[in-house]
Structure 1
Amino acid sequence: MKKITKILIGLMLISVFISGCSNTDKDVSKDPGQSNESSSETSGEVKYKKEIIIAIADEFTTIDPMETTAESNQIVQDCTHDLLTDTNLLKMQNEGELVDSWEMIAPDHWKFKLKENVKFHDGTILDVDDVMFTFERGAEKSTTSAYVAKIKEFIKVDDLNFEVILHNGDVDFNYVFAANSLAILSKEAFETMPEEEAVKIGTGPWKFEEFVPGDYVSLVRFEECTLYDVPNTERLVFRMIPEASSRMIALENGEVDAIMSPSPTDYNRLSESSNLKLITETGRGQHFIGFNCANTDSIVSNPEFRKAIAYAINKEEMVLAAWDGYAQVSTSIMCRDMEYYSDIEGIPYDPEKAENMFKELNAEGITLNLITSDASHRVKMAENFQAQMAKYGITVNVEFMQQAALIERLSTDKSTEAFVLSWTPGMNADYMYRNPIHSQGGRSFYSNINDLEIDTLIDAAAAEVDTAKRAEMYEELQVRLTTEIVPWVPVAQATLTMGADKDVTGLLLHPGLVHQFKTAEKIIN
């Protein structure tokens, strides 16, 4: 009897051992629509869903951080690549990511120390040579050239320490390194791989896996990550679903775990659901009607016409049309939650004044050509602008296109007149003005004002260490740009939203739109 009992116990142990081995196998599906179970470990340990799928509205096009500033690309790149400094979304402050510490020796002289033993996806260890290489490559790219141009001299002290001497003082220079397009790349990867492969190599907790244009991009966790804890989720998928209604259906059916930019009509369904949740955050993006101020063949080059447009626009009406009211009307070109923001009156809605100004300018009966992307809120803004201008006898022809094509047109087509766009800066004030307003900014085609006085004021404000004087300078910039020069008519800052399975955690909305999914996970029973 004892012998039989021992045999039975032995068989049971073998069965448990085989079962345990089976449960630790990782079978990550290559089909983002296929359901999956947890990467279950031995009995008693927490079980996580293997794959998290995020439905995004706009198209992903590239993993190269320097090729575009489109949010859909930067959201994915944020998972695979890291910055020298970044915004801590829980504290809403700039902190070191790849940098361990920094010191401003003087406004034009800074020193930085990198974190030790940070591993790239290709197995190499981050050092100052990688930073130098990234800046050298960035000097040739439109998305990063304005940042790199601030540096007069880059000094390598050793493998972990470097200093930068700036052309002009900048007391917020640490924020420059938080620009997503300046994500640090592996020098060795570019020396040993084709460029299209080397750009995929970062230090983030996720590695690039596969990209099917117009469908999805997938990432797999970086098992050897030293900068972050290795994710509990094994595979992260960003699936492109342009229609908000289709994204919502996919979430309700369990085809995806979270959706970006749900329709405002679905907010109550999300917040009242027992299985879903609505996540919100006030956005920093400034949505505006912009003008090509350098187009002297068009009436838009006349600041009085631009002011008349500002008086003519009913922003409350446009907010209702574009966001169903889920946005804050803007009175200033500057975003509200930024340093040195002043609550100025701006140019108020005054249709009678607008009508008189249009008459004085002989603007009634003219045709204005406007371009924008095919994003839902921009389409609605453009259509509402078209309807509002018709009341003043101004015809607005609207052309819609994809975001990449829009940026290409704005940067190359000198005949452009007007456009609907948004600018999403970092927290620091210099970021707000330098790229889209300064004549040497990487996005100066957002206005083309090329105003030497404004350039000088932007440079002086960045270098000013006296905070009271600095505040005066930024208020002057706000007033002059918003009410006198009027390169844009600021319309609103929208409320950012995300819908998700109630049990999915690690989803962080970023006021600057580069939402974070590094720690996205779901514990399952």
Structure 2
Amino acid sequence: MSLKKSVVAAAILSVLATASLMAGAQTIRIANQGDALSLDPHSLNESLQLSVAANVYETLTGRNKDLSLAPLLATSWKQTSPNVWRFELRKGVQFHDGTPFTADDVVFSFARAKGDGSDMKATLSDIKEVRKVGDLAVEIETNGAFPILPDVISLTMIMSKKWCEENGAAKPVDKRKGIENTASFKANGTGPFRVRERQPDVRTVFTRNANYWGKIEGNAQEIIFTPIANPATRVAALVSGQVDVMEPVPVQDIARITASPNARVITGPELRTIFMGMDQKRDELLYSSVKGKNPFKDKRVRQAFFQAIDIVGIQKTVMRGASRPTALLVGPGVNGWSEQQDKRLPFDVDAAKKLLTDAGYPNGFEVTLNCPNDRYVNDGQICQSVASNLAKIGVKINLATETKGTYFPKILRRDTSFYLLGWTPTTYDAHNALSSLTACPDDKGTGQFNLGAYCNPKLDDLTKKIQSESDKGKRDAMIKEAFTIHMDDVGHLPLHQQSLAWGVSKKVELTQLADNFMYFKWMSIKP
């Protein structure tokens, strides 16, 4: 470790030691490799961001510990017609500032989440109208039959209309444009925890909501959330007892933590798929040596990249076995995944070289690969390995890695030619991935995270039919057909599903979910 890194690590541990002395018996200290980029629940559709916000804000429908659908701010819901759902809202709920929760807040929040600057509008693009039908009832009308709507809205968080309007936060924080407002740094939800202190990239302190409408199972009274980018520092903080929970655990440190007297590692499969995307829309790539045309518009080039990536090598050397190579944009645990269909094209350098030659690039070309270095497990190392693999077919990768704080705004502006992304379907259904990642992008939110603008109208037509189909057999067959089209097109380059690894003090009990959400209400600590 360099002197500079050693000084930074020592400073972090010193701060943690001070916090440890101040923390009470029911304080849980959590460390993560990154921070939530904002407290605004509509500003970024990214799992850490949403996980943090979900402890403060709530949705109409939520999740149980087994990820089944649960009532939250809605107590019940039913379809009153093929295109209309009615939601009965919970009585006696208050926002943290004491303002009563009503249907007006739901109507406002859905409009806000669908508006300009929102990163959540992709899931709401087929909602035609949300209307108040009583102080504690709303109807949601969709453009067509939408049988999975209650699942789709399970991450649309409800904000106080009054608070947002009074605090200049009526519109979402737009991370693409660097726009911030009060909702960036302050929060006023209905959830089991409220924000007491917010220092971006330093620490955020949450305290238990004494007026929460529901039962809080855990005994945590205070949560101190600290971003620690350096993996070795994170591990040292856990092993020494200066933090109680940390994630992700570097795969190479699992054995060390497991052998320590005070901590353990909780592992499990994650629903997230890590993949790579390519700009397939521009006539000339922004960051490439090829001028006057776009090589990624040629399927042969995309397939050459796919077959040049040694995913088994990445699994063994970079992920230390803690990943599952995949050919699909969804994995086990997501409705619509098929083991039979999940077969990758073979790793074949010679075949990849021939494909490039046939496409007119016998000597390869240069292109920039954008990659985060603090968001997914070993993300920077994955991109380095891909760059090494592609060099063997003559492709020179100019690797641009950066912190997620600048990475996501950049790629969400589509200011990229080649990028790495991870995706967890928030509905636990393949439709979410198809609609968000593979659909032709439009101005309503469809294809919002299809950052390379891959487009196949036949797949789009299938995605719309999947959305409205209620017969499971027919629906699963359509999902399979949609993924077949995408695989035949080599629309993206799926890599793997990473495994979850949380480091946890032996004094702490918590619930690990396959979507990598960490709910404070289910966390307890022994004295």
Q: TM-score, normalised by structure 1?
A: 0.87
Which amino acid in 1 is paired with 2:417? E
Could you tell me which runs of 5 or more consecutive residues in structure 2 were left unpaired when the two chains were aligned: 1-14, 170-180, 285-293
| 1:306 maps onto 2:293 in alignment | no
Q: Measure the CA separation in 2 of the matches of 1:278 and 1:268.
A: 9
Aligned to 1:328: 324
Describe the superposition over 1:80-134 as per-residue Cα deviations: whole angstroms up to 9, x where unpaired: 111111221x222122221111112344221111122122101122111110010
Describe the superposition over 1:263-311 as per-residue Cα deviations: whole angstroms up to 9, x where unpaired: 1122122223332111112011110121111132221121221112112
Aligned to 2:89: 114
Which amino acid in 1 is paired with 2:161? K
- The CA deviation at 1:194 is 4.2
Q: Measure the CA separation in 2 of the matches of 1:173 and 1:294.
A: 31
Matched-pair contact (CA < 8 Å) for 1:289–1:420: yes
- The CA deviation at 1:422 is 1.1
- The CA deviation at 1:261 is 0.7
Q: 1:232 aligns with which of 219, 224, 227?
A: 219
Bigger Cα displacement from structure 2, 333-342 vs 103-112: 103-112
What secondary structure does 1:509 align onto? coil
Q: 2:360 aligns with which of 359, 362, 375?
A: 362
Cα distance, 1:30–1:116 mapped onto 2, change above 3 Å = farther
Q: Measure the CA separation in 2 of the matches of 1:472 and 1:367.
A: 40
Matched-pair contact (CA < 8 Å) for 2:202–2:226: yes
Q: 2:166 aligns with which of 192, 195, 204?
A: 192
Aligned to 1:215: 202
Aligned to 2:431: 430
- Coordinate RMSD, CA, aligned: 2.1
Q: Measure the CA separation in 2 of the matches of 1:293 and 1:87.
A: 36
Could you tell me which runs of 5 or more consecutive residues in structure 1 were left unpaired when the two chains were aligned: 1-28, 39-48
Matched-pair contact (CA < 8 Å) for 1:150–1:166: yes
Aligned to 2:349: 351
Cα distance, 1:359–1:108 mapped onto 2, change above 3 Å = same
Q: Measure the CA separation in 2 of the matches of 1:471 and 1:201.
A: 40
Aligned to 2:460: 455
Which amino acid in 2 is paired with 1:122? D
Matched-pair contact (CA < 8 Å) for 2:45–2:120: no
- The CA deviation at 1:461 is 0.8
Matched-pair contact (CA < 8 Å) for 2:366–2:396: yes
Which amino acid in 2 is paired with 1:84? L
What secondary structure does 2:128 align onto? strand
Q: Measure the CA separation in 1 of the matches of 2:118 and 2:130.
A: 20
Bigger Cα displacement from structure 2, 302-311 vs 339-348: 339-348
Which amino acid in 1 is paired with 2:228? I
Q: Measure the CA separation in 2 of the matches of 1:249 and 1:54.
A: 13
Describe the superposition over 1:207-251 as per-residue Cα deviations: whole angstroms up to 9, x where unpaired: 111122321111111111113338632221111111111011111
| 1:443 maps onto 2:448 in alignment | yes
Which amino acid in 2 is paired with 1:274? P
Matched-pair contact (CA < 8 Å) for 1:221–1:230: no
Larger Rg: 1
| 1:250 maps onto 2:237 in alignment | yes
| 1:59 maps onto 2:35 in alignment | yes
What secondary structure does 2:521 align onto? coil
Q: TM-score, normalised by structure 2?
A: 0.86
| 1:478 maps onto 2:465 in alignment | no
- Identical positions, percent: 22
Q: Measure the CA separation in 2 of the matches of 1:153 and 1:420.
A: 34
- The CA deviation at 1:200 is 0.4
5 Å-filtered alignment, 1:263-412, equals: 263-297=250-284, 298-343=294-339, 344=341, 345-363=343-361, 364-375=363-374, 377-412=378-413
Which amino acid in 1 is paired with 2:494? P
- The CA deviation at 1:496 is 0.5
Q: Measure the CA separation in 1 of the matches of 2:248 and 2:148.
A: 32
Runs of 4+ in 1 over 4 A off after TM superposition: 29-32, 196-199
Bigger Cα displacement from structure 2, 221-230 vs 329-338: 221-230
Q: 1:464 aligns with which of 462, 469, 480?
A: 469
Q: 2:505 aligns with which of 497, 501, 504?
A: 501
Aligned to 1:11: none
Q: Measure the CA separation in 2 of the matches of 1:435 and 1:210.
A: 34
Q: Measure the CA separation in 2 of the matches of 1:497 and 1:83.
A: 27
Q: Measure the CA separation in 1 of the matches of 2:265 and 2:421.
A: 26
Describe the superposition over 1:350-372 as per-residue Cα deviations: whole angstroms up to 9, x where unpaired: 33322221221232231121111
- The CA deviation at 1:377 is 1.6
Q: 1:75 aligns with which of 51, 73, 82?
A: 51
Q: Measure the CA separation in 2 of the matches of 1:30 and 1:379.
A: 26
Matched-pair contact (CA < 8 Å) for 1:86–1:95: yes
Bigger Cα displacement from structure 2, 238-247 vs 156-165: 156-165
Matched-pair contact (CA < 8 Å) for 2:272–2:424: yes
Which amino acid in 2 is paired with 1:292? D
Aligned to 2:6: none
Which amino acid in 1 is paired with 2:425? P
- The CA deviation at 1:37 is 6.4
Describe the superposition over 1:401-447 as per-residue Cα deviations: whole angstroms up to 9, x where unpaired: 22242232223345x22111111112122212112222232624433
- The CA deviation at 1:456 is 1.5
Bigger Cα displacement from structure 2, 153-162 vs 285-294: 153-162
Bigger Cα displacement from structure 2, 512-521 vs 370-379: 512-521
Aligned to 1:171: 147
